Amino acid sequence: MSLERSPVKIPAEQLLAESISIVEAAKEKDVILRIMGGLAIYAHSAESEECKKLQLSLGRLGENKPPFTDLDLIGYNKQWKQIRDILEKGCGLKPDRMVNALFGDRRLVYFHPKSRFPIDVFFETLEFSHILRFGDYPGHARLQLDYPTLTLADLVLEKLQIHQINRKDLIDLMVLFLGHDVAQGAQPNAVDAKYIAAVLADDWGFWYDATNNLSHLMNLGPSLVQGNKLSPEQWETIGRKVNALTSAIEAEQKTPDWKIRAALGTSKPWYREVDDL
């Protein structure tokens, strides 16, 4: 029987603390798990009260609704059994046995035993509107580049791959750009624009949706300033960094595959249809 998913009913700080405790339990066993999504961006704002306050105050899921709906984790296929054992035996999480039986080779679903929030665990690759690959363990394990979350660049790509991006994802991106620099290469606590540009330069469809989503972000900002949800200074900082990333994407040399697919444009589907479990 599949368990019913209910929204998060605990404060964001408690959700983050319980999420990190799960990742730390895996780390103690030399198992890689990383936090994804909006909660990962909230975790990256740990030292910035301004960013944390902004992500919570903008009502990313709507007024009077909890800021986060669940916990998303990602690990490696080669550690599938260890991950399952840590989550079920070590952390006492309750498995959704029906979903795990059907989709467990690429996704596991759990529920926290006390707080009841749902936990989705992905493996190695995110396959939504576009595909994000994180290498394999231990050879090219991109998940090891940051802790306890994905890298900032991967968090940006996770949001930009969404074909029909919504307000909450744009807000998450704004918070991320407000609190972090955009760099031409891997630097601590900065968005690696070079890596993002390289990923998009090899996939026209991903590039098309990503650049459109950055344009949506730039269109949303002024309305938030007008509504006193965002200060002009905050928006200037965000906009400057988004423009820096956009410039890096435009400047990156595109691959032959990108150019071939670009010639077809939107005359054929350029994104994957995404179905819920």
- Does the pLDDT at position 268 exceed 70? yes
pLDDT digits (tens, 9 = 90+) for 79-120: 999 999 999 999 999 999 999 999 888 899 999 988 888 999
What confidence category does residue 3 fall into, taking pLDDT thresholds of 50, 70 and 90? Answer: low
pLDDT digits (tens, 9 = 90+) for 48-70: 889 999 998 887 766 777 788 89
Tell me the pTM: 0.94
What confidence category does residue 38 fall into, taking pLDDT thresholds of 50, 70 and 90? Answer: very high
Give the closest residue to 274 by CA, choosing from 107, 144, 126.
Answer: 126
What confidence category does residue 139 fall into, taking pLDDT thresholds of 50, 70 and 90? Answer: confident
Enter the tokens of residue 35: 């936090």
- Does the pLDDT at position 276 exceed 80? no
Cβ–Cβ under 8 Å, residues 26 and 86: yes
Mean pLDDT, to the nearest integer, of 189-204?
Answer: 97
**Ranges of each domain in the chain:** 12-267
Which pLDDT score is estimated for 4?
A: 60
Side chain identity, residue 31: V
The rounded mean pLDDT for the chain is 93
Contact partners, residue 201, CB within 8 Å, separation at least 6: 207, 249, 252, 253, 254, 255, 258
pLDDT digits (tens, 9 = 90+) for 176-194: 999 999 999 999 899 999 9
Report residue 111 CA to chain centroid gap: 20
Q: Pairing relation of β-strands 71-75 and 118-123?
A: parallel
